[in-house]
Amino acid sequence: MPAVKPKRKSPVMDMTAMCDVAFLLLSFFIMTTQFKGQESVTIDTPSSISQTKIPETGVATISIDPKGKYYFGIADAKQRGELLQRMAQKYNVSVSSTDLKSFEKLSDFGISILGLKQYLNMPPEDQLNVVMPGIPNDSTKSELGDWVQTYLLEVNPSAKLAVRGDAATNYPAVKKVLNELGKRDINKFQLITGVENAPN
């Protein structure tokens, strides 16, 4: 008579603890993630084969749109308030604590410091509809140069500078920025481009 084989039972795992861990990790990453703020202008950068990456912190960016308007942005939100305070002192403009909090939320901006207070006092949904005129950068008044110099020399001397121009931007607009940086002895910066595959 053959031996009776016992029924095989598949092992059972309680997945409750695993689900708890998964949801805890998910909620942790959601709460600690910092989302990139909405940019004031869309820039379609030209492409290059360079593989160098721009750091995510400690970087200031000058953006130039196709019309030749200039925008300035800082990656570190905590340093934006300090920069605005220093620039307000230079230009004798008063800023409130509400203005500083609003400014810290801007990833970049393209407006003169004289019109910035009015822009910051707008509701956020109205700010999205404003077409920024660009930061002044001409031979008589280079406010853009003041923003860059104040940030790189006073607020964060270890920061890096990046210049991002649209593919349709005319060269004279880029040259004006490079000339202004040269006048202020700011000779180290990176150009932001799109990624293109290297030729074989």
pLDDT value of position 34: 66
For residues 84 and 102, what is the distance between their CA atoms, to the nearest angstrom?
Answer: 11
Residue 64 to residue 165: CA distance in whole angstroms: 5
Mean pLDDT of the region 146-162: 93
Contacts of 4 (CB under 8 A, 6+ apart): none
Asked which of 33-42, 96-105, 153-162 is least confident by mean pLDDT, the reply is 33-42
Query: Above 90 in pLDDT, residue 89?
Result: yes
Distance CA 143, CA 177 (A): 11
**Positive/negative CA dihedral, 85, 91, 130, 160:** negative
Question: What value does the mean pLDDT of the chain take?
Answer: 86
Average pLDDT for residues 80-87, to the nearest whole number? Answer: 93
The reported pLDDT for the residue numbered 123 is 87
- Indicate whether 110 pLDDT > 70: yes
Q: What are phi and psi of 63, to 5 degrees?
A: -115, 140
pLDDT level of residue 200 (50, 70, 90 thresholds):
low
- Please name the residues in contact with 95: beta carbons below 8 A apart, sequence gap of 6 or more: 84, 85, 88, 103, 117
Does residue 196 register a pLDDT over 80?
A: no
Beta sheet of 108-109, edge-to-edge order: 108-109, 70-74, 59-64, 160-165, 190-191
pLDDT of res. 26: 87
Provide the token pair at 126: 């109205």
Give residue-wise pLDDT tens across range 20-57: 888 888 888 888 876 666 666 777 777 887 778 877 78
**Token pair for 188:** 């180290």
Closest to 61 (Cα-Cα) out of 85, 88, 43: 43
